[in-house]
Amino acid sequence: MKTTAAFAAVAFAFIFNAGSALAQATTYEPTVGQDGKDVVWVPTPQMVVDRMLDMAKVTRQDFVMDLGSGDGRTVISAAKRGAQALGIEYNPDMVALSRRNAEKAGVSPEQARFEQADLFETDFSKASVITMFLLPDINLQLRPKILGLKPGTRVVSNTFTMGEWQPDAKADLSSSCGASYCNPLLWIVPAKVAGAYKIPAGDLVLKQDFQMLSGTLASGGRKVIVTGKVRGEDINFSANGTDYHARLRGKNLELR
């Protein structure tokens, strides 16, 4: 009889502890400012999330990757726009929370996915849009990898910059978002177009500093200064008062 009672007591304790652990797991609530692997957690205000996705022109044709996805709000918002979205988050509790939040929002796990992974070991190559709210030094560490992505990939950061790589667009929502970090910044990954080309107007030499172009156009013994910009695969430059529009096709510059 004592053995039966002891067994029942052990079984009850096991069930109680398991239930408590389950309850604790399902009621996990992150705290603003809590430590993470590379940054502390501060959520991006929903208004800023929406503007970031607007600036990136996210549609159902996009594959969005959110780096440091936290509670999942950016991934969920992108999925609601019809995009396929993937959140990369190091904290497994945050990953579990994000999946619960996505379920509550009525977003399918096929459309809004979350992975527990290290940003620096993650392949970004399938993304057409990257979103993030990381620190400037983390952005700089990721920058070479981002610049190696397919030209035209859109990158949006909340507030923090990419060093000398100036944004293609930015917005200031600080007067209305009610938080400290409300400045979305957009970059378009530029094609690598530096080099020498023969075009109908003469011999073109382009130098490239991120999306900004400089160089010369030589024809008939005369050389003029070139300035321009790359936006994805679209190349726009001016020389001697004439505007040129082109795309890179293999090793050739195709004027449009």
Residue-level pLDDT at 38: 67
How far is residue 138's CA from residue 29's CA, in Å, rounded to a whole number?
A: 25
Residue-level pLDDT at 252: 84
3-state secondary structure of 82: coil
Residue-level pLDDT at 63: 98
Residue-level pLDDT at 6: 47
The two three-digit tokens of residue 73, written as one number: 């709000």
DSSP structure class, residue 162: B
3-state secondary structure of 109: coil
Residue-by-residue pLDDT tens, the chain, 256 positions: 444 544 444 444 444 444 444 444 457 887 765 566 667 778 899 999 999 999 999 999 999 999 999 999 999 999 999 999 999 999 999 999 999 999 999 999 999 999 999 999 999 999 999 999 999 999 999 999 999 999 999 999 999 999 999 999 999 999 998 888 999 999 999 999 999 999 999 999 999 999 999 999 999 889 999 999 999 999 999 999 999 999 988 878 999 8
Residue-level pLDDT at 24: 45
The two three-digit tokens of residue 79, written as one number: 């999925």
Burial of 40 (0-12, 13-18, 19+ CB in 10 A): exposed
Beta strands in 68-139 (DSSP E): 84-89, 112-116, 129-132
19-74 pLDDT, tens per residue?
A: 444 444 457 887 765 566 667 778 899 999 999 999 999 999 999 999 999 999 99
- Give the predicted TM-score (pTM) of the model: 0.85
Does residue 210 contact residue 232 with C-beta atoms inside 8 Å?
no
Classify domain 46-188 by CATH number.
3.40.50.150
Burial 111-130 (b: 16+ CB within 10 A, else e): bbbbeeeebeebebeebbbb
In the chain, domain spans: 46-188, 195-255
The DSSP code sequence of 163-218 is: TTB--SEE---TTTS-SS---EEEEEPPP---EEEEETTEEEEEEEETTEEEEEEE
Does residue 139 contact residue 67 with C-beta atoms inside 8 Å?
no
Residue-level pLDDT at 40: 75
